[in-house]
Amino acid sequence: MRIFARNSGLVWFFAVSLAAGRFDSTASAEGIHISTDTDVVSIAAGEQILLRYRYRDVPYKPYVDRLFTPGGVNVLLDAPADHLHHHGLMYAITVDGVNFWEEQQAPGQQVHLGFDNVTSESRNETSRAGFSERLCWKNPHNEELLLTELRSLRVRCPAGSKVTLLTWQSRFEPADGRKSATLTGAHYHGLGLRFIRSMDTGGRFVNADGKAGTIYRGDERLVRSRWCAYKAKADGKDVTVAMFDHPENKRHPATWFTMSTPFAYLSATLNLHEESMELVSGKPLVLRYGIALWDGQVEGHQIEKLYQSWTAMPTEGVNAEQK
């Protein structure tokens, strides 16, 4: 383990490089810190937890099982009885015919391999913390490795903005020895977000273009836009959750899957149900998404302002050198 520290006025930076699967120390900066135990990584601002990520003791995939507004409201539901395979905020698609989303009949497994680094810093009036994780996507029928993924999560708390801003970035390549991999999936496969029960009723989806979207079935809709947001009450408190699609992503703007009956769900997809994607060795696929949480009802122009600010942020920190 290597730990580096730098102090310049109010600026603190800690980086932990790991060869093993977990780290035993806490990286911290003024206003934000990141820590782990055997099964989870947590990011907090002071005493307030902002994110909890489960990477061990999970049967099929690591995921975010808790994500909080600045006011301390969690918006994620993990493994509800009606859909046990819905795990808070998770990424899953189908690879070479192996389904990594649904967890039935020997589903695909995203296997945690280790953490490359953990960072926490405070500078330019913004506190941030994050980590990179190495994973392999495995076919359980023959133990064959299909994909490798470098997943990076970074939480930002811009001073005065009163928003929790998470960036989820994944870098995919065919596993060693494989020339290609075919990506497909259902119309909801992608980066999916299952909301807590109290947000299932009375909420409203909005997007950057004000589109109603195309009805897929029931009240499920598909709409292409640079961002999509959901406004609802979480345990009686107004909250707004927005998801951003980065302009450099393949098939930008994203095709958003939304539904509100019998429960609320939001997913950023690559429209793989209509058009598969071939991933070739030596040409990695990098996907970058943002998830923003506010307390209260936030207007579209405020969401757009943060979206524009987010897209202008440099790809720095946990895996900038990998992109």
What CATH number does residue 305 fall under? 2.70.98
Q: Select from 263, 289, 267, 285 the least CA-distant residue to 276.
A: 285
Residues of the chain with pLDDT under 70: 1-30, 123-125, 316-323
The per-residue pLDDT for 30 is 53
pLDDT value of residue 46: 86
Residue 145: what pLDDT?
Answer: 98
Q: Output the pLDDT for position 3.
A: 27
Q: What is the pLDDT of residue 125?
A: 65
- Please report the pLDDT score of residue 322 as a whole number: 39
For residue 240, the model assigns a pLDDT of 98
pLDDT score, position 221: 97
Q: Is 191 in a helix, a strand, or coil?
A: strand
Residue among 138, 213, 225 nearest 175 (CA): 138
Residue 4 CA, chain-centre distance (Å), reads: 27
The pTM of the full predicted model, rounded to 2 decimals, is: 0.89
Domain enclosing residue 76, as ranges: 2-322
Write the burial class of residue 49 (CB in 10 Å: 0-12 exposed, 13-18 middle, 19+ buried): middle
Per DSSP (E only), the strands in 161-307 are: 164-174, 180-184, 190-194, 204-207, 214-217, 220-224, 227-234, 237-245, 255-259, 265-269, 277-280, 285-295
Cβ atoms of 70 and 105 within 8 Å: the answer is: no
Question: How many domains does one find in the chain?
Answer: 1
Q: Tell me what pLDDT residue 13 has.
A: 33
Question: Strand 255-259 relative to strand 220-224: parallel, antiparallel, unpaired?
Answer: antiparallel
